[in-house]
Amino acid sequence: MTEKQALRAALRRRRTDHDAAIPASQRALLFLRPPAPLLDLVPDGAAIGVYHPVPGEASPLGYARWFAERGHPVALPWFAARGAAMQFRIWTNPFDDEGLVKAPYGGLQPAASEPDATPAVLIVPLLGFTATGQRLGQGGGHYDRYLAHHSAVVAIGIAWDCQLEAQLPSEPHDMPLRAVVTPTRFYGPF
């Protein structure tokens, strides 16, 4: 196991343990409304890309619903197959998972028949982040590749406070975030 793989495994465990320790009554109150500094980064009517969380991840679903209620199109990652480039498709109803299908990497995604979308703002998952916007993802490189080809997209991380790291290993293809939101802080904009 490489040093980066070991770090990912440790961060994954920490994230999962933290998430499991949050009482359901508190979890229901987290990440429901985007904070004002995040809203300052969102153009009027912009399409918002979010992810459908896996267990342990900070959930952007409250933000998805908030933006949808205000008329913003909401989109989820979509993969034609394993190994295919990440694209985005409109999530027509972010208030429930009906209409979503199993994605090639697990999790849920819109059906292939849903319209394509190009989010202006993308809320991204992460395993770790720094106070300067560096991000460590799962290791597949999907978000880094997408952001490299869509440089105007405002990438915002959403995380638990325990995911903050003083530093992270970085490679030339790693794309920085414009901001990171945790339950207690807003980091950025960078």
Domain ranges within the chain, ordered by starting residue: 3-187
Whole-structure pTM value: 0.94
pLDDT of residue 1: 78
Would you put residue 75 in left (φ > 0), alpha (ψ -120 to 50) or beta? beta
Whole-number pLDDT of residue 178: 98
What percentage of the chain's residues is helix, strand, coil (to nearest 5)? 25, 20, 55
Selecting from 3.30.830.10, 3.40.50.10420, 3.40.50.1820, 3.40.50.970, what CATH number does the domain 3-187 have?
3.40.50.10420
pLDDT (mean) for 18-28: 95
Question: What is the structure's pLDDT at 59?
Answer: 97
**pLDDT tier at 139, thresholds 50, 70, 90:** confident
Mean pLDDT of the chain: 96
Q: What is the CA radius of gyration of the chain?
A: 16
